[in-house]
Amino acid sequence: MSQAVAERKVCIGKQDDFLERVGRAVEVEGEVIAVFRTSEQMYALLDRSPHPKGGPLNEGIVSGCYVYDPLYDWKIDMRDGKVQEPDTGQVQTFPLVVEGEHVYLLLAGDQLISK
């Protein structure tokens, strides 16, 4: 019999703490997460480029639901973390919940939940 893992929320700030189209790095459970806000939604991705040489994503340029890797100009869909052709790869994404003015990252027990 498997036990359900309790889901919990970790507050990462207020909605106004995240400027539109400007990434912000937040540390949650020892991981650095890049959080982006667009006019329509907020996204959370692991702040690590899928490029073989790595690098941060929080400094990337946001256009619609895409972020452009600041070092390698890879186009990454923030909804699912997939790198767009002709490049390949994927970034881990995480669910966010906005309640009132607060923004929460969802966790499963002690672990970050991947989308």
Is pLDDT of 108 > 90? no
For residue 114 the two structure tokens come to 């991947």
User: Residue 59 corresponds to which tokens in the numbers above?
Assistant: 């400094």
User: Do 60 and 71 touch, CB atoms closer than 8 A?
Assistant: no
Binning pLDDT at 50, 70 and 90, where does residue 4 land? low
Question: Per-residue pLDDT tens for 18-61?
Answer: 999 999 999 998 899 999 999 989 999 999 999 999 999 999 99
Among candidate residues 100, 102, 92, 101, the one with its CA nearest the CA of residue 44: 92
Q: Quick one: pLDDT band at residue 110, thresholds 50, 70, 90?
A: low
Domains of the chain: 7-108 (2.102.10.10)
pLDDT for residue 29: 85
Longest dimension (CA), the chain: 47
0.85 surpassed by pTM:
yes
